Amino acid sequence: MDAGRFRQAMGRFASGVTVVTSRHRGHDVALTVDTLTSVSLRPVLLLVSLHDEARVLEGIRAGEPWGVSVLPARHRALATWLGEPGRPLHNQLARVSHRRGERTGVALVDGALASFECRTYAVHPAGDHQLCVGEVVAVDAPTTDEPALVHYRGGLGELR
């Protein structure tokens, strides 16, 4: 199987853009992620796929709570910044307007279309990624008509 061809084909599947947050060694860490899946309603579970070397994954593995913020189109620059590899560990969220989740204290992006506070339910190895299943312990979905930020064919766009 040609991995490049597979990646090209998967790029034709439009997906929403999220920021996954946790803590690692006492620091807030964050990563732009375009894989978010609803898994179950009993219990309420969601899934994100994280690269094996993601600092967010280290926080999740250490038992830290984690958050998922669904981004509106106006947060395109934020998504680009948090998707850059090699960002420093310290002050990753210094440029990001955020708040603490009421239930877990995890960092959540201000102005998100929806946000979820999670505790780890399971982590499953999958190639060079880990499938992180989170039990949702709090959700916020404010009423808004803002367009969503979407990932399609390797670029970022918006969807109403």
Q: pLDDT tens digits for 77-119?
A: 999 999 998 888 889 999 899 999 999 999 999 999 999 999 9
Residues 6+ apart with CB under 8 A from 140: 108, 112, 114, 115
Q: What percent of the chain has pLDDT over 90?
A: 92
CA–CA separation, 149 vs 139, rounded Å? 19
What are the chain's domains? 26-143 (2.30.110.10)
Mean pLDDT, the chain, rounded, equals: 96
pTM reported for the whole predicted model? 0.96
Q: What percent of the chain has pLDDT over 70?
A: 100
What is the reported pLDDT for 78? 96
Across 135-147, b (16+ Cβ under 10 Å) vs e yields bbbbeeeeeeebe
